[in-house]
Amino acid sequence: MSEPFHAHHGASCAVCFIIPPRVLKRLSSQAQDPKKSDTLLETLALTEHMRGQRTLAAGLTRAVPAGELRRTIYDAHRGITLPGKLVMGEGGPTPPGAAGVAAKQAYDNSGLAYKFYKEVFGRNSVDDRGMRLDSTVHFAKRYDNALWNGQQMVYGDGDFFHDFTAAFDVIAHELTHGVTQYTVPGGGLVYQSDPGALNESMSDCFAIMAKHWHAQQTAGSANWAIGDTIVPTGERPLRSLSEPEKGLDPQPKHMSQYVDTPEDHGGVHINSGIANHAFYLTCMNLGAGTKSWETPGKIWYRGLSLLRPLSGFQDAAQAFVQAAGLLHGPGSKEAKAVTDAWAKVGVLQAAVT
């Protein structure tokens, strides 16, 4: 459905941002305050400059002994050179003053993401080999974004958006880009068109699992929003898995609404809503009392290793149905729940009865 692309597009996630360029552009055009409009445009310009770069950080040694958590926090002091000045290490003191708040939040939430993957999936950090979790805070001036650049997390201080380092779901989303990078055989999902949309969806799905796990929420009572704490008070959450069309970044929830566009690497932040909604429906198919990180989460985690760099939506649907079969049996209620969900979003032909 989207235009063809070739292997030279092949970085699994060149530089992955939580706020898509199209959202920055739209918010800038709508801003009543010229200063906020300018800040959003500056963020957009820097974001576009950074996109397509494989990594911005120097090649740092990140492997640590198996089973050990090691976090390293840097401060860019509102510059754009990465990683910046080392300000906090594992078990070390928090930097003094207001500047240390973001460092401590990045430290705590990256540790919580490590704990989520360790306790739920038995995974040892992003690469499952004890990769050190590096973060840079105070990146650029009022930079309205957070990102994973293939090696580390980077956080701006924001202006329209705020408190990126305090948002556990944002941090889990970005770190999951690394998990996808190291788990999908062949170096991850190509960050273009359908594979890129699946890449973004994996980050949203595992971020929502992490959020539910931390809050101990069930599917029926859960908050299905991504980025609801980084937007201004009263604003819609950035994205919603239960109602993709109602987020600040509206998305389709069915293949009939698929957006064919050359923007944003072929709509990776747009069409990801379809796969996101399939995960939500899978959880609800299994019952309101379902914990998203348990049965559905284990299916999605197993399915990651069945994907390939150029996997499209149908490939993904089949991979997750296969994963459910491997874990619970081909004719199980779990396999039927997954099949039905992907059928309801228009990817598979018919729901299982």
Mean residue pLDDT across the chain? 91
Percentage of the chain exceeding pLDDT 90: 87
3-state class of 349 per DSSP?
Answer: coil
At position 81, the amino acid (one-letter code) is T
How far apart (Å, rounded) are the C-alpha atoms in residues 23 and 144?
A: 11
Is residue 239 within 8 Å of residue 251, measured between CB atoms? yes
pLDDT the model gives residue 321: 98
pLDDT the model gives residue 349: 83
Among 10-24, 36-50, 108-122, 191-205, which is the least confidently predicted range? 10-24
pLDDT the model gives residue 63: 55
Query: pLDDT tens digits, residue range 66-108?
Result: 568 999 999 999 999 999 999 999 999 999 988 899 999 999 9
3-state class of 71 per DSSP?
Answer: strand
Query: pLDDT tens digits, residue range 277-331?
Result: 999 999 999 999 999 999 999 999 999 999 999 999 999 999 999 999 999 999 9
pLDDT of residue 6 exceeding 50: no
Catalytic residue (choose from 42, 174, 200, 243): 174
Chain-centroid distance, C-alpha 330: 29
pLDDT of residue 8 exceeding 50: no
Is residue 289 within 8 Å of residue 314, measured between CB atoms? no
Instruction: Indicate the pLDDT class of residue 46, thresholds 50, 70 and 90.
Output: very high
**Cβ neighbours for 204, distance < 8 A, ≥ 6 positions apart:** 173, 226, 239, 241, 272, 276
Please confirm, yes or no, whether 174 is among the known catalytic residues.
yes
User: Which of 2, 137, 9 minimizes the C-alpha distance to 78?
Assistant: 137
Query: pLDDT tens digits, residue range 213-237?
Result: 999 999 999 999 999 999 999 999 9
User: Which of 36, 72, 14 minimizes the C-alpha distance to 158?
Assistant: 36
pLDDT the model gives residue 12: 57
3-state class of 153 per DSSP?
Answer: strand
Catalytic residue (choose from 138, 212, 265, 269): 269
Instruction: Indicate the pLDDT class of residue 9, thresholds 50, 70 and 90.
Output: very low
The model carries a pTM of 0.93
pLDDT the model gives residue 47: 87
User: Which of 180, 150, 128 minimizes the C-alpha distance to 82?
Assistant: 150
Query: Whose structure tokens read 């290793």?
Result: 305
pLDDT of residue 58 exceeding 50: no
For helices 295-304 and 99-121, the axis angle rounded to 10 degrees is 90
- Between β-strands 71-75 and 85-89, what pairing exists: parallel, antiparallel or unpaired? antiparallel
Q: Which domains does the chain have, with CATH numbers?
A: 16-183 (3.10.170.10), 193-344 (1.10.390.10)
Mean pLDDT of the 268-279 span: 98
Q: How many CB atoms lie within 10 A of CB 89?
A: 13
210, burial (CB in 10 Å: exposed 0-12, middle 13-18, buried 19+): buried
How far apart (Å, rounded) are the C-alpha atoms in residues 37 and 29?
A: 7
User: Which of 309, 212, 314, 227 minimizes the C-alpha distance to 5?
Assistant: 309
Instruction: Indicate the pLDDT class of residue 167, thresholds 50, 70 and 90.
Output: very high
At position 263, the amino acid (one-letter code) is E
pLDDT of residue 3 exceeding 60: no
How far apart (Å, rounded) are the C-alpha atoms in residues 128 and 158?
A: 31
Sign of the four-CA dihedral 342, 345, 349, 353: positive
pLDDT of residue 198 exceeding 90: yes
Mean pLDDT of the 195-220 span: 98
How far apart (Å, rounded) are the C-alpha atoms in residues 265 and 14?
A: 10
3-state class of 88 per DSSP?
Answer: strand
How far apart (Å, rounded) are the C-alpha atoms in residues 244 and 247?
A: 6
More confident residue, 52 or 51: 51
Please confirm, yes or no, whether 235 is among the known catalytic residues.
no
More confident residue, 295 or 65: 295
pLDDT the model gives residue 53: 60
pLDDT the model gives residue 50: 84
Instruction: Indicate the pLDDT class of residue 2, thresholds 50, 70 and 90.
Output: very low
Percentage of the chain exceeding pLDDT 70: 90
